[in-house]
Amino acid sequence: MSERRRKFSPQFKAEAVQMVLETGRPIAEVARDLGINEGTLGNWVNVWRRENPEPEPELTPVERVRVKEMEDEIRRLRMENEFLKKSSGLLRPDAPVAERCALIQAEKATYPIAFMCALLGVPRSTYYAWAERAAGPQTATAARRAMLAEQIQLEFTASRSTSGCRRIAAALNQRGIDASVGLVADLMRELGLRAVQPRAYKRTTVPGEQPVPAADLLGRDFTAAAPGQRLVGDITYLRTGQGWLYLAVVLDLATRMVVGWQLAPHMRTSLVTDALTMAIDAGHVQPDAIFHSDRGTQYTSAEFAAFTEAHRIRRSLGRTGVCWDNAAAESFFATLKNEMYHRHIFPTRAKARFAVAEYIEVFYNRKRLHSTLGYRTPFQALTDYRATAPAAA
């Protein structure tokens, strides 16, 4: 099966450039996270910089010193905030000294030891004495548990505190580290690691006023034989300090990959057609594909009907008010809000947009293991299909 040349929407290009400019990360690193060519992303960044020049005013030597001091202070505060946020998720408020020392030991490659000791209220002499005892002679079992505990901590941190024992065990086994779910669960309890917990579901669909003659073509069968054949979509609300922001997504049932998405401060039909256009332009929608949604006003509108007909897409609609008829899309929104949105406060729509783009394109599509896919990432599932499709043909 020949792979189509990828097309990127203006929105995707803008979000990719923003990831480089906002985070200061190297272009190569961001390109690798997004699964695109380094040179392509570099061209986008250069075009943006040419079109948005930022003249830098000359600073006096005194001003340069002050700027350097402010940058150092901001860097220190960010590191402190990051470490305190991490430690609060890993340690109980009344955690004993041994657990605090264990956290310092696990994070010593990331943060200065003196810095962590001061924040956790552990004298440095106490930590070094604990570390010396911990480094003493160990049995083979104790050494293996210590090694596994370190790897579990790394996987838990890499998953942004979202992975439970099953997903972490799967990740370790994929790396060639044998570990049962039960053993991982025991060690996670010892380390005080708990994945973020989901919140209650809230229905937000606004049903269309006119009945639409479109059947439910999925019947709650959220599987697909190949990518691009069966897609689902939905809209969710995100609160920011500047007001509501609305997110529409298109999810491929074969790979569970978010193949199209759009954010806007409105809920007009263009919100969902733009998300579907992104999926079409990227080659993720096959002719006569099924697109399933709820009966929200955007999906039952004449404008959306004309759009799907023009692109040879068959519409499928679940019943009004029955979230299980679109459970795959609802599940994705629950995951996004649980793992990212509810853990932050967004003062502006721009901050929320950046966070959503990074979560979808970098973490969810390319790093998060999905139980439905046999603990693969959506991007892995897509890659595996493309690798085996020619042989099957």
pLDDT value of residue 71: 81
Structure confidence at residue 393 (pLDDT):
47
CA dist list (Å): 358 to 15, 18, 236, 333, 355: 8, 10, 17, 15, 5
Pick from 379, 381, 293: nearest CA to 330: 293
The answer for residues whose C-beta is within 8 angstroms of residue 292's C-beta and 6 or more apart is 216, 217, 218, 230, 231, 232, 233, 316, 317, 318, 326
Determine the length of the chain: 393
In a 13 Å sphere around the CA of 149, the CA atoms on its Cβ side amount to: 18
Q: Which two tokens stand for residue 93?
A: 């408020």
- Which uninterrupted H or E stretch holds 19? helix 10-23
Give the pLDDT of residue 325.
80
CA distance 19 to 36: 13
pLDDT by 10-residue block (mean), the chain, 393 residues: 66 85 85 87 87 69 76 83 76 79 84 87 86 76 86 90 91 91 90 75 53 76 93 94 94 95 94 95 93 90 93 87 80 92 90 93 93 92 86 49
State the residue for tokens 């967004």.
Answer: 346
Report the pLDDT value the prediction gives residue 69, as an integer from 0 to 100.
Answer: 80
Phi, psi dihedral angles at 23 (to 5 degrees): -90, -20
The answer to whether the CB of 155 falls within 8 A of the CB of 171 is yes
Tens-digit pLDDT profile for residues 71-120: 888 888 888 888 787 777 667 777 788 888 888 888 887 888 888 888 88
- pLDDT confidence of residue 72: 81
Q: Is the four-CA dihedral 284, 313, 247, 322 of positive or negative sign?
A: negative
Unique residue bearing structure tokens 């969902």: 272
Give CA–CA dist 61/45, Å, rounded: 31
Residue 300: partners with Cβ closer than 8 Å, 6 or more residues away = 207, 208, 210, 212, 214, 317
Asked whether 335 and 364 are in contact (CB, 8 A), the reply is: yes
- Which conformational region is residue 17 in: left (phi greater than 0), alpha (psi within -120 to 50 degrees), or beta? alpha
Rounded to whole angstroms, the Cα distance separating 321 from 87 reads 41
Q: Tokens at residue 10, please?
A: 């203006």
Cα–Cα distance measured from residue 313 to residue 26, given in angstroms and rounded to the nearest whole number: 39
Distance CA 272, CA 238 (A): 16
Query: What are phi and psi for residue 314, nearest 5 degrees?
Result: -90, 125
What's the pLDDT score for residue 87?
A: 73
pLDDT for 370 equals 92
> Which has the closest alpha carbon to 318: 344, 291, 286, 281?
291
Full-model pTM: 0.70
Q: Reduced to 3 states, what is the DSSP secondary structure of residue 38?
A: helix
Report the pLDDT value the prediction gives residue 59, as an integer from 0 to 100.
66
